[in-house]
Structure 1
């Protein structure tokens, strides 16, 4: 299992939201710089997941300056999401050495654009499928897109993307475990790599995901706990 710890940023600070609710924000003990140094010390960490939360809400990247600083503090690949709504933003992140781009709202709603950036950045685009049950949500998880998971996955199956990040919004930050059933179902639907996200608590959750054929998992709230990492060691 490849672990992808998450750093969520608002105004340069390392925070966590509960179920994507901006009114339920918790500050983390480690700064983004401290967190990236800590995560980079573990062999099991494949890359680091960074989300510009206000970028997602405001529909425009807000944290590119600190993200550039974080890139300089690790040799691990970074995957960046939040407010990536145009090709120019991807080009800007590409210029500072960002390895992977996580596209949500516009990639869900504008297939032709997704196809064009997947061609421009082959194998470097992750599509963020953030859902409540089978409904995909957009704009920082605040709006139902009107698109269901199965239809969307069928549409993107031929694209040269890095994979699909599936998040069950209802599980995110709740310390109740991921949505194992739907993660496996989505993995069975597609040839793309499916990354589990939302609700991962401990090594037992990682082992169960791995038993279902999932090879990568984003770990958010739990990754800030020393107990989680003792279990990994």
Structure 2
């Protein structure tokens, strides 16, 4: 069965969702961050909680470390954290807080040799955050698009000891229109590491479609905030 990782995105200590990564589309999710952790930990299908520091991603440094410590303490499942992780010091601080996994995006995409080195120092604890517009890699909180393709990026990380790859199709994120099954499946077919889908997952049918393509896990954002999503599985 494909794993389900509900997402809790944070801006100014508030649980929010964006559409296509646009900070101007910020929508509050109703539950506080701690209430969201407890809600997701009541769902038996959840195997991991996915936390994102959106201001950290934008400002290139952590902005919600104290809140994330509380959320880790409140969770009875593994927790992964992304957003603004640009240094080994930040990696060590989050791991010392007992985060199970950390997501490295822009720093690893811009400096693959650095990520390879960090992944060897912390084997099986770092995830590559492979965010893209189409097949082009996006950087700095999705505010920039590089010329590098997602498959080229995987090639550059040959030798890394990653826990996995999270592929986000920005055009699908927050739109509730379904994930990019084809591209995620393509990456799952060529990646040396387990691939997780992010962006657009709506229901059990989307999860089954991803699973049929060899995708290991799915991050679910807006849909996971609804009781109906979990009841339908």
Query: TM-score band, normalised by the shorter chain?
Result: over 0.9
Determine whether 1:192 maps to 2:193. Answer: yes
Secondary structure of the corresponding residue to residue 159 of structure 2 = coil
- 1:159-206 CA distances to partner (integer Å, 9 max, x unpaired)? 110010000000000110000110111111112100000000001100
Runs of 4+ in structure 1 over 4 Å off: none
TM-aligned CA deviation for residue 109 of structure 1 = 0.4
Provide the rounded CA distance (Å) in 2 between the counterparts of 1:60 and 1:213.
Answer: 34
Distance 1:125 1:76 in 2: 17
Please name the residue that 2:218 is paired with: 217
Equivalent pairs counted in the alignment come to 232
TM-score of the two chains, using structure 1 as the length reference: 0.98
1:48 aligns to what?
A: 49
Q: Which moved more, 1:102-111 or 1:151-160?
A: 151-160
1:94 to 2:95 alignment: yes
Confirm or deny: 8 A CA contact 2:188 2:215 kept in the other structure: yes
**Matched residue SS, 1:186:** helix
The reply to whether residue 202 of structure 1 matches residue 190 of structure 2 is: no
Who is 1:20 aligned against? 21
Alignment-derived partner of residue 35 in structure 1: 36
Is contact 1:16–1:173 with CA below 8 Å preserved after alignment? yes
SS in 2 for 1:72: helix
- Give the TM-score normalised by the residue count of structure 2: 0.98
Partner of 2:111: 110
Q: Which runs of 5+ in 2 are unaligned?
A: none
Tell me the distance in 2 between the aligned counterparts of 1:163 and 1:72: 24
Contact 2:58 2:140 in 1 (8 A): yes
Whether the 8 Å CA contact 1:157–1:192 is kept in 2: the answer is no
Post-superposition Cα deviations, 1:68-127, rounded to whole Å, max 9, x if no partner, equal 000110121111000000110011111111110000000000112101210111001100
Q: 2:86 maps to which residue?
A: 85
Moved more, 143-152 or 160-169: 143-152
Q: What RMSD, in angstroms, separates the aligned Cα atoms of the two structures?
A: 0.8
